[in-house]
Amino acid sequence: MLNTPIKLPDRDPAGRDDFASIAAARHRFELLGRAGCEFLACEVPILCGAMSWISERNLVSSVSSGGGFGVIAASAMPADDLAEEIYATRVLTDRRFGVNLITLHPQFDALVETCIAQKVDLVVLGGGLPPCRTIERFKAAGVRVVCFGPTLAIARRLIRAGADALIVEGAEAGGHIGPTSTSVLAQEILSAVDEVPVFIAGGIGRGEAIAAYLQMGAAGCQLGTRFACAHESIAHPRFKAALIKAQARDAVVSPRLSDMFSVIPVRALRNRAMEDFRAAQAEQMERHRRGEVDRAGAQVAIEHFWAGRLRRAVIQGDIENGSLMAGESVGMVRCEQSVADILHELVEQAVASLIERED
């Protein structure tokens, strides 16, 4: 675990000396997190979720160097750019880190080969069910595979396909989400899956939640929004300020006006772009009704609305017209902190919650 001592109170609320219970709680936390730490080869069972434009060399290397596990977000990168990002991250840290690939990427196969050629230790496959041949290709090359398991049935299917670990992410998360809450998924899947490590994600912002999920049987937890505002994050200052100002209720799901047109649900902060998206859907629905555009054309126009808007917010700082992807845990982001401070704070909270109190 982390080498720097956690900053816990010397006495409990009742005024008794608490040194023994703190030591016991810290040991308990280490035991609970051992499986996740051993799997990730890190000191704290905490992954930093892959956030497009944010989870790059600076943040990833800082999380891994700080004792957690960083994951590069390949997102829309071409293969050459990903190879460069992996190399640059290795220059910044000698700790292990992973790479997140989106299965719908037009150059997905090339990215797979890039990860293998770069001898990446672990990949996280998102954006839909990964092809079995891809999992087999990675495993044959000695690359461990982590997949998202949004339901128990899919989790079991992925394990049979060879997944080495699962991430179970609930609807409270930022970005693309499913329909089920983190707590429900955790109860369902942790009670039924013990073949591989399971990491819980979605709406986690404090160490108490991490400790609770570890006690339920999780190998660790994945957090994204807390790290988006780290000093080491390259996100624009206006993007960080928007997240720090926001409350949990401000992280809403993108609206869908009609079942006729599919809208991939995305959780982001409410802003002008969210309202414009509503208007854009209404416009395309009306154009389709008038016969000016067919259903496929209207669907493409709706899907194209968000193109480039995440970069617009994260990199350019346009917090009104860009996409402010964030999870409901955004309300627990109070200030900009270093990655090291975030990790220590999470561990401090987790250990404090495990201290046994006498009546």
Read off the pLDDT of residues 218-272 as tens digits, 9 standing for 90 and up. Answer: 999 999 999 999 999 999 999 999 999 999 999 999 999 988 888 889 999 999 9
Residue 212 has pLDDT above 60, yes or no: yes
Same domain (yes/no): 203, 323: no
Residue 10 has pLDDT above 80, yes or no: no
Q: How large is the average pLDDT for residues 137-154? A: 97
Beta strand pairing status for 266-269 and 220-223?
Answer: unpaired
Residue 3 confidence (pLDDT): 53
Residue 204 confidence (pLDDT): 98
The span from the CA of 261 to the CA of 218, in Å, is 37
Whether residue 133 lies inside any domain: the answer is yes
Structure tokens at 28: 């308990």
- Using CA atoms, how far residue 270 sits from 251, 263, 276, 326, in Å, is 6, 17, 11, 10
Q: How large is the average pLDDT for residues 40-49? A: 98
Same domain (yes/no): 270, 135: no
Same domain (yes/no): 132, 199: yes
Whether residue 194 lies inside any domain: the answer is yes
Nearest to 46 by CA among 82, 87, 97: 97
- Number of other residues whose CB lies within 10 A of the CB of residue 120: 22
Whether residue 10 lies inside any domain: the answer is no
Same domain (yes/no): 183, 256: no
Helix (H) or strand (E) holding 228: helix 225-228
User: Residue 154's domain spans which residues?
Assistant: 19-232+338-354
What global pTM score does this model have?
0.93
Dihedral angle of Cα 90, 92, 94, 99, to the nearest 10 degrees: -50
Residue 359 confidence (pLDDT): 37
Same domain (yes/no): 158, 36: yes
Residue 17 has pLDDT above 60, yes or no: no
- Number of other residues whose CB lies within 10 A of the CB of residue 101: 28
Residue 262 confidence (pLDDT): 87
Same domain (yes/no): 89, 206: yes
Same domain (yes/no): 323, 343: no
Same domain (yes/no): 85, 66: yes
* Confidence class for position 18, pLDDT limits 50, 70, 90: low
- Using CA atoms, how far residue 335 sits from 237, 246, 341, in Å, is 12, 11, 11
The total number of structural domains that make up the chain: 2
Residue 168 confidence (pLDDT): 98
Residue 79 confidence (pLDDT): 97
* Confidence class for position 357, pLDDT limits 50, 70, 90: low
Helix (H) or strand (E) holding 199: strand 198-201
Same domain (yes/no): 202, 262: no
Residue 7 confidence (pLDDT): 54
Whether residue 13 lies inside any domain: the answer is no
Same domain (yes/no): 222, 272: no
Whether residue 7 lies inside any domain: the answer is no
Whether residue 282 lies inside any domain: the answer is yes
Same domain (yes/no): 44, 127: yes
- With beta carbons less than 8 A apart as the criterion, state whether 199 and 165 touch: yes
Q: How large is the average pLDDT for residues 277-289? A: 94
Whether residue 240 lies inside any domain: the answer is no
Whether residue 11 lies inside any domain: the answer is no
Count of helix runs (H) and strand runs (E) in the chain: 14, 11
Looking up residue 123, the CATH number of its domain turns out to be: 3.20.20.70
Helix (H) or strand (E) holding 351: helix 339-354
- Using CA atoms, how far residue 304 sits from 264, 276, 298, 307, in Å, is 12, 13, 10, 5
Is pLDDT larger for residue 87 or for residue 356? 87
Same domain (yes/no): 128, 249: no
